[in-house]
Chain A
Amino acid sequence: EAQVTQNPRYLITVTGKKLTVTCSQNMNHEYMSWYRQDPGLGLRQIYYSMNVEVTDKGDVPEGYKVSRKEKRNFPLILESPSPNQTSLYFCATRPSGRAEAFFGQGTRLTVV
């Protein structure tokens, strides 16, 4: 079954404690991206990757890092989380030449 898997689904952490949210896909898609969803703001792109070792900033990259060492994985790293990064995060993938994306189930992050 084609899947985009995020872990964890829920996370409560404290300010400044480094964390990683993982994203893994089994569809062999080249493109992967991260979004955050906030009330009244919709989804905003954080980072994206066109392929292995190729990453680029989206609209709201401050405070986040990503890496793409393997095609199937695209972790989101928060080196020093702050309360304004409390949000619902989604990973998405799509194949080359296609416009529609496939989304993970989401990770609800709370930073206190």
Chain B
Amino acid sequence: GDSVTQMEGPVTLSEEAFLTINCTYTATGYPSLFWYVQYPGEGLQLLLKATKADDKGSNKGFEATYRKETTSFHLEKGSVQVSDSAVYFCALSDVGSQGNLIFGKGTKLSVKP
């Protein structure tokens, strides 16, 4: 079945450092891809999405590009802030299962001042 693999955490960075969180997927069709963010004590919020190959999703300084050839959707940010500390989940929408979301295991990011 479809699956998502993202880099293990935790990731600890200093403020203003460059962030990359790797995400690769396995899918039989052409899924939509997402990054969700979970701030401490809160539910998941959609951070960005891409619905087809070569699409770039962006929001709040974060970016990710849907790479069909490498089946990847890596999350990047040029300069992280303390307020970016959260758990980040990569996910795909499984076209073969009513559009259900399949999540990676999450990557915890801590940004130090």
Contact = CB atoms under 8 A, between A and B. Distances in A.
Nearest to A98: B99
Interface string B80-101: 0000000001000100001111
Given A42-B89, A43-B89, A56-B98, A103 B104 contact: no
Dominant secondary structure at the B interface = strand
B43 A103 contact: yes
Contacts of A56: 98
B108 to A, nearest CB: 10
Q: Is the interface of A mostly helix, strand, loop or mixed?
A: strand
Interface residues of A, number: 25
Contacts, number: 53
Interface string A77-112: 000000000000010101000011111111000000
B43 A105 contact: yes
B43 A104 contact: yes
A97 B45 CA distance: 19
11 contacts: A33-B100, A42-B106, A58-B100, A99-B49, A99-B99, A100-B32, A100-B34, A100-B49, A103-B45, A104-B43, A106-B42
